[in-house]
Each structure stands twice: as C-alpha cells, then as structure tokens.
Amino acid sequence: MRAVSLVVLLVLAACADQAPPPAQAAAAPTECASHEPEFRPLIGMTEAEVRTALAAMPGIRSVRSGPPNAPMTSDFRIDRATIVVSRGRVIRIGCG
C-alpha cells in the first residue's frame, strides 16, 4: 500500500512542476462574436453579398439564413452566423 501511495505522490509531484502554457499573442478572431461590430454595415445588402462578406471573416465557418420568425435550432455554435432575410435584403445578423 505504501508503494502505491509513493508512486501516486511522485506522479502528482511531477505534474505540479509543469508550467502552464504561455499566453498566445493576440491572434486573429476565432469566433463569430468577435466580428459583431462589422455586421452593421452589412444590413440592407442582399443575402449573397452578406454571405460573401461573412465567408471572408476568420472564425465564421457556418452561415444559416431564414425569414423573420422562422424556426431554427437553438443550439449555440461560436463559429456560426445567422442572417435574417426579408424581401431579399438582410435585416439582422447574429451569432450562434
């Protein structure tokens, strides 16, 4: 029993000596929410224009669209933008 306890303590001590990983320098945005300030100028454009603009934003990997009040899944994804289209124009852009 003592041998097992000694091994466990040695393993834990070895783990405790490891330094945390260094902080990364400011990298490119990796999620949709970091681009929200850029959404406002896109309101009023066509869906195709907005999809093109969103595709150029790092961290947005998926775009879904629908009309106002359309049922959509409520799962939250940090890499997804949701656009609401009415009469051929985008009226709202959000993340999730």
Would you say residue 21 lies in a domain? Answer: no
Range of the domain at 80: 29-95
pLDDT score for 75 = 86
CATH (domain of 40): 3.30.10.10
Contact, 17 vs 47, CB < 8 A?
A: no
Q: Between the CA of residue 10 and those of 3, 15, 17, 26, 65, what are the distances in Å? A: 11, 9, 11, 37, 55
Span 52-72, average pLDDT:
94
Buried b (16+ CB within 10 A) or exposed e, 14-32: eeeeeeeeeeeeeeeeeeb
Give the integer Cα–Cα distance in Å for 47 and 52: 9
Residue 49 belongs to a domain = yes
Q: For residues 47 and 66, is the Cβ–Cβ distance under 8 A?
A: no
Query: Model confidence over 7-57: pLDDT tens digits?
Result: 555 555 665 555 555 555 454 557 999 999 999 999 999 999 999 999 999
Task: Say what the pLDDT of residue 9 is.
Answer: 52
pLDDT given at position 43 = 97
Number of domains in the chain: 1
Whether residue 19 lies inside any domain: the answer is: no
Q: How many CB atoms lie within 10 A of CB 48?
A: 10
Mean pLDDT lowest among 24-28, 40-44, 66-70, 83-87: 24-28
- Asked if residue 16 is part of any domain, the answer here is no
